[in-house]
């Protein structure tokens, strides 16, 4: 499958936990990734939720009704938001939660569902569980495991969480882009000689062998000893 060129890491904050019980969005943050590189393009907006914020939610993100009542409504910012994510692959941690709220807000305006505006939605929590079974996979734990600096994250925030998620995702999937064999244009490769007996076998130098061993050791360290060549009998 060809690599998606444009991805958007996305996060939201809300008045509470339940989109189907009257809770609303209070912010949405997006960070653009182009061909596996972070660009400087972001989208961030605080939103007037038209209701009070639950105390527990306010403790998590720090926003109360007094801080939000002067912000624009979701209907006022929806066009800019959809224009930013249009045609991208969305990266969302615990996607069911954020998608549920965004689908609710879009539905209130008769604007369909989030999936109508993007090519795909990747739940990075499920991806992390696949890559790291049995381990803690919240955003803070992933930042710690992959060396992403999250010291500025004293409270949850849609933009900072999207920025951290983008970095974590790139770290989690590092190297996968080079394994996309299906994207290789075989017509550009040189032809094999008909007589394979003339092929010359070139042995690696001592320096190349040492560099290879160092690379394998780094990979093994990052995988915490779970590489095939160390676990196989």
Tokens for 132, please give them. Answer: 């790291």
169 and 203 in a single domain? The answer is no
Catalytic hit among 61, 93, 156, 212: 156
| In a domain? residue 115 | yes
Token pair for 82: 């959809």
Confirm if 77 and 12 have CB atoms less than 8 A apart.
no
144 and 213 in a common domain: no
23 and 128 housed in the same domain:
yes
pTM over 0.75: no
Instruction: Give me the number of domains the chain comprises.
Output: 2
Task: Please confirm, yes or no, whether 61 is among the known catalytic residues.
Answer: no
Between β-strands 37-46 and 89-92, what pairing exists: parallel, antiparallel or unpaired? Answer: unpaired
Residue 230 has a CB neighbour count (10 Å cut-off) of 12
Pair (118, 205) in one structural domain: no
Query: Do residue 111 and residue 217 come from a single domain?
Result: no
The residue segments making up the domain with residue 223 are 197-231
Spatial CA neighbour of 46 closest among 60, 29, 66, 31: 29
Task: List pLDDT tens digits, range 37-52.
Answer: 999 999 999 999 999 9
Kindly list the averaged pLDDT for each block of 10 residues, start to end, along the chain of length 233: 80 93 95 96 96 88 90 98 98 96 97 97 96 93 91 76 96 66 47 55 68 67 56 49
171 and 62 within one domain: yes
Residue 151's φ and ψ, nearest 5 degrees, are: -65, -20
Decide if 17 contacts 100 (C-beta within 8 A): no
Report pLDDT digits (tens) over 184-229: 444 545 555 555 555 555 667 777 677 677 666 666 665 556 555 5
């Amino acid at each position: 499958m060809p690599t998606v060129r444009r991805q958007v890491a996305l996060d939201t904050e809300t008045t509470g936990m339940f989109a189907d019980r009257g809770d609303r969005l209070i912010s949405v943050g997006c960070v653009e990734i182009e061909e596996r590189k972070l660009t400087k393009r972001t989208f961030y907006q605080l939103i007037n939720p038209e209701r009070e914020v639950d105390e527990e939610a306010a403790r998590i993100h720090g926003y109360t009704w007094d801080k939000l009542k002067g912000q624009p409504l979701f209907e006022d910012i929806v066009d800019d938001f959809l224009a930013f994510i249009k045609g991208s692959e969305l990266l969302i941690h615990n996607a069911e939660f954020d998608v549920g709220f965004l689908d609710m807000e879009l539905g209130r305006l008769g604007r369909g569902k989030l999936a109508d505006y993007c090519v795909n939605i990747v739940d990075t929590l499920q991806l992390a569980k696949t890559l790291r079974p049995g381990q803690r996979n919240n955003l803070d734990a992933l930042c710690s495991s992959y060396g992403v600096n999250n010291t500025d994250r004293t409270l949850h925030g849609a933009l900072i969480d999207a920025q951290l998620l983008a970095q974590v995702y790139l770290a989690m999937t590092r190297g996968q882009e080079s394994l996309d064999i299906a994207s290789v244009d075989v017509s550009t490769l040189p032809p094999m000689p008909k007589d394979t007996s003339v092929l010359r076998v070139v042995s690696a130098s001592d320096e190349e062998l040492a560099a290879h061993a160092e690379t394998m050791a780094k990979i093994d360290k990052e995988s915490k000893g779970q590489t095939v060549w160390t676990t196989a009998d």
